[in-house]
C-alpha cells in the first residue's frame, strides 16, 4: 500500500519522492508551470482552496520554507494558521498526536509538517482522518520532497529535459534530506548520470546503491556537468568533528569560479539555502551569471501551490 496515493492513483499525501511515480512528479511540475504567472498579477490569488484550512506545523526552525508554504497557501485563497511551537502545548509536553487531534478538531484540511525526527510526517499521515492531507516540509535526515521538486522544476526550466543531463550534488550528503529527495527525483525522471561529490566523512555508506557515482575529488566530479547543486553544511546535525575546518573544506569542496569552469560552459549552479558563503560557495559564484539560486526560491512558491492544489483536489 502506498500511503501517498489514493486507490485510483491520485496524490493523497506528499511525504517523500522515494517511490513516487514519474507521472505524478511530472504532473506536479506541469501544474506548477500553470501557477507561474499568479505572482505577477495585480491580485496574486486564485480561488482554488477557498474555504480550506491549512496548518503549518513547524516543530523545527525555518524561515524560507515556512514562508513560501504560507505564501503558496494564501495565493490559493486558503486560510493559513502558523503554529508557534515556542508557545504551543508541545513545550508543555503535549504529545504530537494530541496536538494534531486538537487541530483536526478545528476542521483542518491539510497539515504542513517540519520536524527534526525522520518519519514524523509519515507518523502523522497514518493517523489523520481520510479528508486531511499531510505535506512533509522536511523530516530529520530523511526527506524534503517539495525542495526536491522545486529543484527539478528549476532544472527543467533551464535545461528543458532530464534525459541528457549530468548532475552533480556537492557537499554534506550524509546529513542532507534535500540530497536524498534530489537523488530520488533525478533518477525517477531519467537523468542518466547523477554524481555525488564530497569527503568520505560527509557521504553516507552505500550511497552508490541509490544509483549515483561517487567522487571525492571535486575537480574530477565537476568535469562536464550540466547542473551543479551545492549543499549546506549541516553543522547542527553533525556529531563530532567530521571536517578539519571550514577553510579546509572550502579549499577542497567550495565552489569557486575556477572549479566551476570545469563544468560545461552553460552549467547552472543551485543551492537549497541558506548559503554559507566562503564555506560551500564563493560569493562571485553565488551572485554570478550561472547561479539560479534566487529563481529557485521564486519557483518554490509555484511548486508548493501545485502540491497543495493537487492534494486538495483542485486543478490548475
**Binding residue positions for carbamoyl phosphate:** 64-65, 114, 144, 147, 273-274
CA atoms within 13 A on the CB side of 282: 15
Measured distance CA(254)–CA(228) in Å, rounded: 12
φ, ψ of residue 30 to 5 degrees: the values are -65, -40
pLDDT recorded at residue 90: 64
Confidence (pTM): 0.93
pLDDT recorded at residue 316: 46
Enter the DSSP assignment of 76: T
φ, ψ of residue 146 to 5 degrees: the values are -70, -30
Measured distance CA(15)–CA(110) in Å, rounded: 13
Measured distance CA(300)–CA(108) in Å, rounded: 23
**Binding residue positions:** 64-65, 92, 114, 144, 147, 177, 232, 273-274
Q: Which three cell numbers stand for residue 285?
A: 559564484
User: Model confidence over 240-285: pLDDT tens digits?
Assistant: 556 667 888 899 999 999 999 999 999 999 999 889 899 999 999 9
**Binding residue positions for L-aspartate:** 92, 177, 232
The CA-based angle 166-168-174, given to 5 degrees, is: 145
Q: Find the mean pLDDT for residues 151-160.
A: 98
Amino acid at each position: 500500500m502506498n500511503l501517498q496515493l489514493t486507490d485510483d492513483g491520485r496524490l493523497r499525501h506528499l511525504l517523500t519522492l522515494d517511490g513516487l511515480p514519474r507521472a505524478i512528479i511530472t504532473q506536479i511540475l506541469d501544474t506548477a508551470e500553470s501557477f507561474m504567472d499568479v505572482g505577477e498579477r495585480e491580485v496574486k490569488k486564485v480561488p482554488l482552496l477557498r474555504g480550506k484550512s491549512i496548518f503549518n506545523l513547524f516543530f523545527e526552525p525555518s524561515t524560507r520554507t515556512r514562508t513560501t508554504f504560507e505564501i503558496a497557501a494564501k495565493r490559493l485563497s486558503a486560510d493559513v494558521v502558523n503554529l508557534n511551537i515556542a508557545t504551543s502545548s508541545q513545550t508543555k509536553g503535549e504529545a504530537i498526536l494530541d496536538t494534531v487531534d486538537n487541530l483536526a478538531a478545528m476542521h483542518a484540511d491539510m497539515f504542513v509538517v517540519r520536524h527534526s525526527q525522520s518519519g514524523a510526517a509519515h507518523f502523522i499521515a497514518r493517523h489523520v482522518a481520510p479528508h486531511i492531507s499531510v505535506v512533509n516540509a522536511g523530516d530529520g535526515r530523511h526527506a524534503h520532497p517539495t525542495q526536491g521538486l522545486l529543484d527539478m522544476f528549476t532544472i527543467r526550466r533551464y535545461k528543458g529535459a532530464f534525459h541528457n543531463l549530468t548532475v552533480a550534488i556537492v557537499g554534506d550528503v550524509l546529513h542532507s534530506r534535500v540530497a536524498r529527495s534530489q537523488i530520488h527525483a533525478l533518477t525517477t525522471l531519467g537523468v542518466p548520470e547523477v554524481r555525488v561529490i564530497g569527503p568520505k566523512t560527509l557521504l553516507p555508506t552505500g550511497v552508490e546503491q541509490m544509483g549515483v557515482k561517487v567522487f571525492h575529488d571535486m575537480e574530477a566530479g565537476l568535469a562536464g556537468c550540466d547542473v551543479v547543486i551545492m549543499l549546506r553544511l549541516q553543522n547542527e546535525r553533525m556529531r563530532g568533528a567530521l571536517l578539519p575546518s571550514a577553510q579546509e573544506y572550502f579549499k577542497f569542496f567550495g565552489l569557486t569560479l575556477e572549479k566551476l569552469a570545469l563544468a560545461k560552459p552553460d552549467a547552472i549552479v543551485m543551492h537549497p539555502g541558506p548559503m554559507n558563503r566562503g564555506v560551500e560557495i564563493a560569493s562571485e559564484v553565488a551572485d554570478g551569471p550561472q547561479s539560479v539560486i534566487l529563481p529557485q526560491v521564486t519557483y518554490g512558491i509555484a511548486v508548493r501551490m501545485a502540491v497543495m492544489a493537487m492534494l486538495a483536489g483542485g486543478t490548475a
